[in-house]
Structure formats: C-alpha cells, structure tokens
Amino acid sequence: MSQFQSVKGTRDIFPEESVQWNHVESVVRTHAALYGFREIRIPVFEYTELFRRGIGSTTDIVGKEMFSFQPDPKGRSVTLRPEMTAGVMRAALQKNLFSSGMVHKLFYIGELFRKERPQAGRQRQFSQFGAELLGVSSPAAVAEVISLMMQVFSSLGLKGLRLRINTLGDGEERSRFREALQAWFVPFYDTLDEASKERLEKNPLRILDSKNPTIQELVAGAPRLYDYLKETSLQDFEKVLFYLGERDIAYDIDHRLVRGLDYYCHTAFEVTSSELGAQDAIGGGGRYDALARELGSSMDVPATGFAVGMERLLITMERQGLLAALPSDAPLVYVVVQQPDLVDNGMQLAWQLRQADISAEIDLAGKSMKAQMREANRVNASYALFLGATEYSTGCYSLKNLATSEQITLTLDAILQFLQERRAQKSLYS
RNA sequence: GUGAUUGUAGCUCAGUUGGUUAGAGCGCCAGGUUGUGGCCCUGGAGGCCGGGGGUUCGAGUCCCCUCAUUCACCCCA
C-alpha cells in the first residue's frame, strides 16, 4: 500500500495501547515480587546452537521458524530468541549461579521472534512474560509457578480460562512409552495424515494432541502414558494437584496434553482462552529438569517455568472488556493563552505547573483560543487554566473544571495548591 | 511452507449489468459577535480506488502478475 510498511508479522503499539501494556506489565511485576521472583533481562539474540540444543532439533521452532544470521563471515551463527527459557538457563549457568546449590527465582518480560505465517494471536515478533524457578524441582516449586501465573490472570480480571495439566514422566518412562506408542500406531500408519506420519518418526507424543478429528478417534484407543509411570512419578503429580486444590486453582487433567518443546518432563500445563481463535493457548509451562544437561552443564539444574503470550493475553482482556476502564494518561491542566503576546508567559506557566508535579499541556502551534479549548477537550484535560491580559496584570488566574464548567479565580500559589490536591485525589481513584 | 480471504479518504465502509467532475458516517480544520471546549449548524481540506500489466471507445468495477491484510492448516505463547 504505502512505502511505509512494517515487516510482515510485526506491528506498532501506539500510546492508547501502550497504556494497556504498561498495566499488564505492572501487574506482572507486582505479583512476581509477591512470590519473590526477580527480573532478569537477557540478550535478544543468542548463539544458534543454544536453541538447537535447548529446544530440540526436531521441533518446528528450531527446524524452520528461527531468524538466524551470521554477524561476521567467520563467526558463529546467531539467532533471534524464539523463546526465553534457554537463554535464561544459559545466563544462569554462565554466571555459575548454582555452585552452592542455590535456588533462583527469575521473571522476564520480553520480545520473541518466530518465522511463522501470521494469523490471529500469532505474530513474528511477539512478547511473553514468564518466570523460571531454577535449582530445585519439586511439586511445591511447580505449584508456586502455576499459582503465580494464575494469580496474574485473576488479578487482571480474566475469567473463564482453562488450566489443563498433565504429567509427562521422567525421561526413562517417556522413552518406554514412546516406543510403545510408536509400535501401537504402526498398524494404522496408512490412516495417519501427513503431519502425524512425520511425528510418528520424530516425536510420537505429539500425535496425541493432534487437532485432526480422525486422529483423535484413533488416539482414544492408544496406550496411555499413565500406565508407564512409576509410583514416584505418580505421587509427584498427585502432590502438584494437591497444592493446586489447596489454593483453589481449578484445573483439568488432560492426558493428551503434550508440550511442544523437548525439554519438558513431569508436570506440564497450558492455559487456554475460548476468546481466542485457533491459537488459543495463552500461557503454558512445565518442569524441565534435563535442560541444563542438554545445554552441556556438568551438573543437574532442575527447573520449572511458565510463559504467557502478552498479545494473546491482551486480546482476551479486550474481548472481556477489561481494557476500557484503565487509568488514563490525560493531563490535569491545559494552559489556554488568550493572545499571541502572552505565549511566552504561558510557557512559563506550564513549566511552573510541571515543577509542582502537575501535568500540563499548552498549545505549541499558535492556535486560536477556541481551538485551544477544543484541544484541551480532545486530550481530555481535567482543567483549563486561562492566561489573558487580566490574569497577567492581576496575577490571579481563572481555572475551569472542564467536566462541570465551574470556574474559579485564584492566585497562582492557590491554584498550584488546589491542583496538587486534585492530583492526589485523581491518583487515588485511578 | 499449504489453502482461502480482503485491499476505495486518518478510521468504518457505499460504489448499481464496466460509462461523464469517486460518495457517506465518524475524525480533522475553519467559522457561528468581540477572552472559554464538549451538543448543534455551516463551510473546508483530504483518495493516481494497494502496485504493475492486459482486455475495451471507456475500468474502482473484467483478466493476469505482484505486494500487503486477514483467517485456517502446520506449530506454538
């Protein structure tokens, strides 16, 4: 259309929307602090090898969705982060955070990049917030992570979200199950669709959560991972469910839930929203005890984490009408100047208001008084402060409440004091 | 990567079987007595009808290509 076109799958967030993002982010920060998670910020790109090893080379993300490039002809390939977990783990290992067996609780908010075809709730650049609990892995740790995530949702006012949860067992249990599953599907090979055939080779577990109805019918009769779990794994899962129950967190056990990333084990979970289209997963996570080893660590770093898609979260909030009532960023005062020869004084006045912590705007384009008033109305200012010849000579200013049309005339000091009180009240209610 | 969808003013959209200066609502700007907005009234600015090629006396309307959008598959947050 125009010569100005953002890259496919990317978008701009203008001020009206930024208010919404800031709101969500501040709720995230507040609750993370409540649980003792502290923020980590890591690079937007990493060596490609990190993701290949961390996420798994059989996954679509690594196979075909990474933005990779070579910054220097002889250098190593690097990749725009398609997810956060591998990077967070790398950072922790690099800093040797676990030398004394410590536990680290970290959260993040940041942009990710995946070269997928854009559609509703899916972009090539998107944002997630999430948390990683590193250094210990236990049902208690899983419960902490899930309840942080769910508490953010409920604090934002979200309703009707569905938490699905499952256990994937440990590596050994999973590989026995995997073989059994493969063997079971072989006789039905010809009835499988293309995608499932490929999965049968690479990652048979993922056939379980196929969207294809005929595949789903087939899956109903397939072996269940549960039957391959040892007592300790089952008890581990039961304990997670126990904690969730204690905290009044509703969940559905879903045996077909298989997370797409290779590093998960034991508990895996996903939160979906019926408000979204086909891309209905708003957040997900699980335990990934083996990730550190996969990345080459010589010691075990058991861990649990979750990630939530900001865009999908905001879409859901929008559909539930949760974005309308957010506090506005409108100025408290709009300074209205009567005559051109008073604009310098007006500028000074606006500056004085701001010095007193009162948000103030003033016309910068030499507009008529009527236009200035319209502008004051348009930016939704609470008050108009008039500066004309009378005010200039008397030192008393007229302040108009734009909602009630009431107008008072006071000295500048009195007005500053009045507005500071109003500002305090305003922030109390917003 | 596959399949479909849409592309006309800042925004949401109309544009009849192809036919003279392409429209509406909202928004924007300016007026409606001299120092005061929101409502109302009047006027105004703003579109090579996504881009390129073709058919035709003539195309926003038909055909092809291209770019972009949206939705679904795949996969995932």
Domain boundary assignment for chain A: 15-169+229-319, 333-429
Shortest-distance nucleotide from A365 CA to C1': B29
Establish whether the CB of A324 is closer than 7 Å to any nucleic acid atom in strand B: no
Q: Which long-range contacts (CB under 8 A, 24 or more apart) does A230-239 make?
A: A230/A169, A230/A173, A233/A167, A233/A169, A233/A170, A233/A173, A233/A266, A234/A167, A236/A139, A236/A167, A236/A266, A236/A267, A237/A139, A237/A167, A237/A266, A237/A267, A239/A139, A239/A140
Å: A371 CA to B41 C1': 18
**Superfamily (CATH) of domain A15-169+229-319:** Bira Bifunctional Protein; Domain 2 (3.30.930.10)
Establish whether the CB of A384 is closer than 7 Å to any nucleic acid atom in strand B: yes
Q: ipTM, 2 decimals?
A: 0.87
Beta carbons within 10 angstroms of residue A374's beta carbon: 12
pLDDT at A3: 66
Å: A52 CA to B27 C1': 50
Beta carbons within 10 angstroms of residue A416's beta carbon: 18
Rounded mean pLDDT for each run of 10 residues along chain A, 430 residues in total: 78 90 96 98 96 85 87 91 96 90 94 93 95 95 97 96 93 86 83 77 79 78 86 95 97 86 87 90 94 92 96 93 82 94 94 96 93 94 94 93 94 95 69
Establish whether the CB of A78 is closer than 7 Å to any nucleic acid atom in strand B: no
pLDDT at A85: 95
Question: Rounded to an integer, what distance in angstroms lies between the CA atom of residue A61 and that of residue A321?
Answer: 33
Fold of the domain spanning A333-429:
Rossmann fold (3.40.50)
Establish whether the CB of A395 is closer than 7 Å to any nucleic acid atom in strand B: no
pLDDT at A2: 53
| Chain B nucleotides covered by protein, CB below 7 Å | 1-3, 7-8, 28-32, 35-38, 50, 67-77
